[in-house]
Structure 1
Amino acid sequence: MILLLSAINFAPAANAANPELDSLKRQYEMAGSDSARVYILVEMSRFYSTSDLKQSIIQAETAMETAIESKDRKLIAFALFNAGNAYFTQGMYETATSYFYRYLDIQKQLNYKPGIAFALANIGAIRIKMQDYKTARNNLLEGLQILENSLKKEENAGFKKHIPNILNNLGIVYQNLHQYDSALWYYREGIRLSDYSEDIQYFQASLNNNIGGLFLDNHQPDSAYLPLKKAMNVRLARNDLAGQSASHIRLGEYYLLMGKPHEALAHFYDAKDIARTIGSIDLQSTATEKLYTYYKQAGNADSALKYFESYNSFEQARNNEETVKELTRLELLSDFREKQKVARLEQARLNTIYLFTAVLLVLLLLMFILLYSLMRNRVGRLKLEKNNLELATQNTLLEKENFKKELEIRNKELSTHVMGMIRKNETVGQIVEVLSSKLNSENEDFFHQIIRDLSTLQDENVWDEFEIRYQQVHNEFYEKLQAMSPHLTTNERRLCAFLRLNMTTKDIASITGQSIRSIEVARTRLRKKLEISNSDVSLVEFLNSL
Structure 2
Amino acid sequence: MIKYLSKLFLCWPLAILILSSLSLSSIAQYGNAGPWPYLDTLAQHQPDSALIQLRKLHAQALSQDDDLKAGLSLQRMGQICFDQGHYGQALDLYLQAEKIFQTSNNKAQLANNLFKIGILYYYNKQLDKARTTYNKALYLYRRTNDQNGQAAVFGEIGHLFEKRQRYDSAFYYQQRALQGYQKVGSRSGQAKIYENLGSIYEDLERYDTAYVCFTNSDRLYQQDHNTVARIEVLNNIGDVLRKTGRLKESLKLSHQAYALAVSTNNLYQEAAASRDLGKSFQLLKQMDSAYHYVELSRRLSLDVYSKEGLNQTLFLQVLYDINKKSDEIARLNSIRQTNRIITVAVVTVVILLIIIGVVVFSRQRLKIHDQKVLAEQQRSIYEAQNDLMQLELRNKELEEQGLKQQLELKTKELSNHTLNLIKTNQLLEGMRATLQQMVKEDKRDQKRQMQQIVQQIDQSFDHEQNWKEFTGAFEQVHQSFFEKLKAHSSDLTSADMRLIALLKVNMDSKDIAGLLGISMDSLRVARHRLRKKLNIEQGDNLSSFIQSL
TM-score normalised per structure 1? 0.50
Q: In the alignment, which of 101, 104, 122 is matched to residue 116 of structure 2?
A: 122
Give the equivalent residue in structure 2 for 1:329.
315
Give the equivalent residue in structure 2 for 1:167.
154
Give 1:180-195 correspondences, 5 Å limit. Answer: 180-195=167-182
Change in 2 beyond 3 A, CA 1:123/1:297:
farther
Distance 1:100 1:218 in 2: 36
Give the equivalent residue in structure 2 for 1:49.
43
Q: Does the Cα contact within 8 Å between 1:249 and 1:271 map onto a contact in 2?
A: yes
Distance 1:237 1:43 in 2: 21
Amino acid at match of 2:228: A
Give the equivalent residue in structure 2 for 1:58.
52
Give the equivalent residue in structure 1 for 2:266.
280
Distance 1:135 1:297 in 2: 43
Per-residue CA distance 1:284-320 (angstroms, 9 max, x = gap): 2322332344455566655444433333333333333
Residue ranges of structure 2 left out of the alignment (5+ in a row): 1-21, 341-382, 396-549
Distance 2:251 2:128 in 1: 35
- Of residues 136-145 and 254-263 in structure 1, the stretch that sits farther from structure 2 once superposed is 136-145
Change in 2 beyond 3 A, CA 1:191/1:76:
same
Give 1:196-345 correspondences, 5 Å limit. Answer: 197=184, 200-295=186-281, 302-335=288-321
Distance 1:273 1:203 in 2: 25
Q: Does the Cα contact within 8 Å between 1:67 and 1:75 map onto a contact in 2?
A: yes
Amino acid at match of 1:121: F
Deviation at 1:278, TM superposition (A): 1.0
Q: Does the Cα contact within 8 Å between 1:41 and 1:63 map onto a contact in 2?
A: no
Change in 2 beyond 3 A, CA 1:77/1:270:
same
Give 1:528-543 correspondences, 5 Å limit. Answer: none
Distance 1:236 1:74 in 2: 34
Distance 1:299 1:318 in 2: 29
Give the equivalent residue in structure 2 for 1:139.
133
State the number of aligned residues: 329
Change in 2 beyond 3 A, CA 1:218/1:57:
same
Q: What CA RMSD, in Å, does the superposition of the two structures yield over aligned residues?
A: 4.4
Distance 2:311 2:393 in 1: 48
Deviation at 1:68, TM superposition (A): 4.1
Deviation at 1:95, TM superposition (A): 3.0
Deviation at 1:131, TM superposition (A): 5.2
SS at structure 1 position matched to 2:138: helix
Change in 2 beyond 3 A, CA 1:242/1:145:
same
Give the equivalent residue in structure 1 for 2:513.
none
Change in 2 beyond 3 A, CA 1:27/1:78:
closer
SS at structure 1 position matched to 2:165: coil
Q: Does the Cα contact within 8 Å between 1:42 and 1:60 map onto a contact in 2?
A: no
Which has the larger Rg?
A: 1
Change in 2 beyond 3 A, CA 1:286/1:95:
farther
Deviation at 1:65, TM superposition (A): 2.5
Change in 2 beyond 3 A, CA 1:343/1:130:
closer
**More contact order relative to length (CA 8 Å, sep ≥ 6):** 1
Change in 2 beyond 3 A, CA 1:337/1:175:
closer
Residue ranges of structure 1 left out of the alignment (5+ in a row): 1-21, 367-546
Q: Does the Cα contact within 8 Å between 1:288 and 1:307 map onto a contact in 2?
A: yes
Give the equivalent residue in structure 1 for 2:75.
81
TM-score normalised per structure 2? 0.50
SS at structure 2 position matched to 1:193: helix
Q: Does the Cα contact within 8 Å between 2:28 and 2:34 map onto a contact in 1?
A: yes
SS at structure 2 position matched to 1:219: coil
Deviation at 1:192, TM superposition (A): 0.8
- Of residues 120-129 and 214-223 in structure 1, the stretch that sits farther from structure 2 once superposed is 120-129
Q: Does the Cα contact within 8 Å between 1:64 and 1:83 map onto a contact in 2?
A: no
Q: Does 1:100 align with 2:87?
A: no
Distance 1:23 1:64 in 2: 14
